[in-house]
A and B are shown apart, each in its own frame.
Chain A
């Protein structure tokens, strides 16, 4: 007997019927998918079509390669098995189709036999089994382990069971065929062979096997067609929508907010309706598979606030579907829900610390933070609606260029006794030290500024400050949605820097650093910017400052969101600590990409934390678990929040926070 098998064996001359049915379900899928594309397209234009090769690479690495999915082994591996099992089985089906209906009848080419057939059978059985393991792992996790972050709806169960049944009936069909035909080489189809042994242990020729085979074959086919037809109406759509999301991911700096351009000539600002998002933002609604990784890393969610990034995206999706329908009718606004207020609450929007943990953990590059800011922009700019306590903060920024009620003229007072050079007196400096609002006005953070001055002096750096000419960098206002105020401050700062011809700027504050690095260029301000952790490490490595003593202590390091996730500066602070510590760096469980926000970002620093637990206290407790006596930080917001957290819990005797600059300066 030849080493091959007859396609459409035992089912009769049904090829035409099968392909007709296939055409119908594929048509259903294509139709539904086009509807989906139309749905995304109700959004505004956004340019995401550059760098095609990089985009394809992204799909290979993050889609086919599962790079982000695999950062969590259980769900990652489960999905990996399922995904690759299906990819290989699909390829197998395509090969059979090509053989049977293109190459063989048209070109008289026959390759599905001999050794190729044996390996083909082996590989398909292997990946089919792996896919079954993947589904079972997923089912076990979803319905037995029940992690908090998964919410279960009918679609989840239906999709998983559908996939499982397709795989199982495939094996049963194969088993029944082998049981009847019994060619020895089919041992290569090892799974089918085992099933054949069960179906027909005595290897007798039995007519009922033919009936069973036909039954399994039709069920398998029917389920597979159901799958294709169901695809675009279910979460299974993510096979395409999530891939598109990865393909159209942003290659901009992670920490960059999109500006509102030409504000003077716009009539509305921010987003209050689904269609005011861009198509890429709306694609996110379908790309999200509700996997919940974002929620598991969200400080707002973990501190029991109403915000969950997953819920936010899902609520947007519900609103989008409703809006799309309503937009086809008259008076659409009466037939849908308000995006803000009804679909997404204001409390959710104000709970976001813009820490980016959601985006860093999302396997398919959903972009939550820009959406939150877009919605906040609408509230602030159009309606002037925001938590009451922010009003004085905005007004302080307007009149005194700092978020607190300090006069702008006293901005440089922290440096009075240090005789730090002011650019207004002498602009010939190698680098400008941008002190920032915290470093200028907050008593605790003034000490960090002073420590940095000590380090710069020890390294003989020719630096200066702007003193009272420096203004808030605009970061908090922008992230709170006050784009107008943010841009005003940015432009005023750019003007001042232009006057002095400033090129290099040093920051102690990651928020200022991020804004200058990633956002000032949007407004024409291009500078070489350094965060003090990079800068100090360089001073140590180049021998400009010499560490002769060391700190004999174990220290834990708290990653600032805007330094770490926003700008990927994880190693410099740790390298500095290694060089100045006698003891060890005791890492916290949540660190680096998964670091836990201090609770101050996104303007939260100036808002009351009335809902849920206090984020800063949660972080202090995480630090306490390391048994270190000092938390090293590298951000004024973190320093304030963690210091407050320590006081609130009453750990002053056991734990303290110091900026890395202070630790280094203490050794000079």
Chain B
């Protein structure tokens, strides 16, 4: 099995995001970056598939130099090789351009299954896997909470979360793209020998020219979405406790407030 995992390095979820004064982006100073949490489930699933069926796990990430740390983190938990799509020209790529670059890189190597997270927790677009499916011309299953590969490795049965908590069971031909949701597995913690070994594993740098893409296809030029400006969401107001002796009395006050103040009923 050639298992490909697309990961993204994102700001830690606890980061206090600050907007640049000119609203053109966020202040990156002092941000701790981590592997996108949903991608961690993809990595774990990939390593589990390797452990069960054999093969090789390749982690691919698009991002600036610092994204190497994220790739290293994945190598420490059992991935074998890393590919770093690293070129200043890639900067500013939206989901569409990102998927295009990823697809180009993946199509140059053999693959039987592509795993990734259901969304990046930075922009939360949840689009890359779908674009990737189109560019690679293979099916995808998203929001996957369970995955079972057939013994001949020709197909997979994926359990995905549908609307309202329903579960859909989907059978899909391989190669396919699987976008992982939280309950897919329990990502392992890196063992120390794993961390040490990861330091020696290969991470291949691929640039625009290595991939054979034109500058117009990537970065801001190759993107379909342009971000005009960034702003903070309005601050949440503090909650209010409605006091009263009897439940009925409290309810009455609540209804009044919802009607007159919140104006939602």
Contacts and interface: CB of A to CB of B under 8 A. Distances in A.
Interface in A393-417: 394-395, 399-400, 405-410
A400 B192 contact: no
Contact of B189 (A263, A391, A399, A407): A391
A269 interface: yes
Interface stretch (B13-21, B90-98, B204-212, B228-236): B13-21
B12 A399 contact: yes
B214 to A, nearest CB: 37
A480 to B, nearest CB: 11
A182 B195 CA distance: 84
A270 to B, nearest CB: 9
Interface in B185-214: 186-196
B192 A382 contact: yes
B32 interface: yes
Interface residues of B, number: 19
B14 A263 contact: no
A381 interface: yes
Contact of A407 (B16, B188, B195, B196): B16
A264 interface: yes
B30 A405 contact: no
A409 B189 contact: no
A384 B190 contact: yes
Contacts of B15: 407, 409
Given A388-B186, A394-B189, A400 B194 contact: no
A484 interface: yes
Nearest to B192: A381
A357 B14 CA distance: 38
Given A400-B32, A408-B32, A484-B195, A384 B16 contact: no
A405 B14 CA distance: 7
A136 B12 CA distance: 68
Interface string A621-650: 000000000000000000000000000000
Contacts of B13: 405
Given A399-B32, A399-B34, A400-B32, A410 B192 contact: no
A407 B14 contact: yes
B193 A267 contact: yes
Contact of A383 (B32, B34, B191, B195): B191
Nearest to B193: A382
Given A394-B189, A399-B32, A384 B194 contact: yes
Contacts of A394: 189
Contacts of B195: 484
B16 A382 contact: no
A267 B194 CA distance: 11
B30 A409 contact: yes
Contacts of A484: 192, 195
Contact of B14 (A386, A388, A406): A406
A4 B14 CA distance: 89
A264 B196 contact: yes
B12 A400 contact: yes
A384 B189 contact: yes
Nearest to A468: B30
Interface of A: 263-264, 267, 269, 380-384, 386, 388, 391, 394-395, 399-400, 405-410, 484
Given A391-B187, A391-B189, A409-B15, 8 more contacts: A264-B196, A380-B189, A381-B191, A394-B189, A406-B14, A407-B14, A408-B32, A484-B195
Give me the 7 closest cross-chain CB pairs, A-B, nearest first.
A407-B14, A381-B192, A384-B189, A384-B191, A399-B12, A399-B32, A391-B189
17 contacts: A263-B192, A267-B193, A269-B192, A381-B191, A381-B193, A382-B192, A384-B188, A384-B189, A384-B190, A384-B191, A388-B186, A391-B187, A399-B14, A399-B34, A400-B12, A405-B13, A409-B15
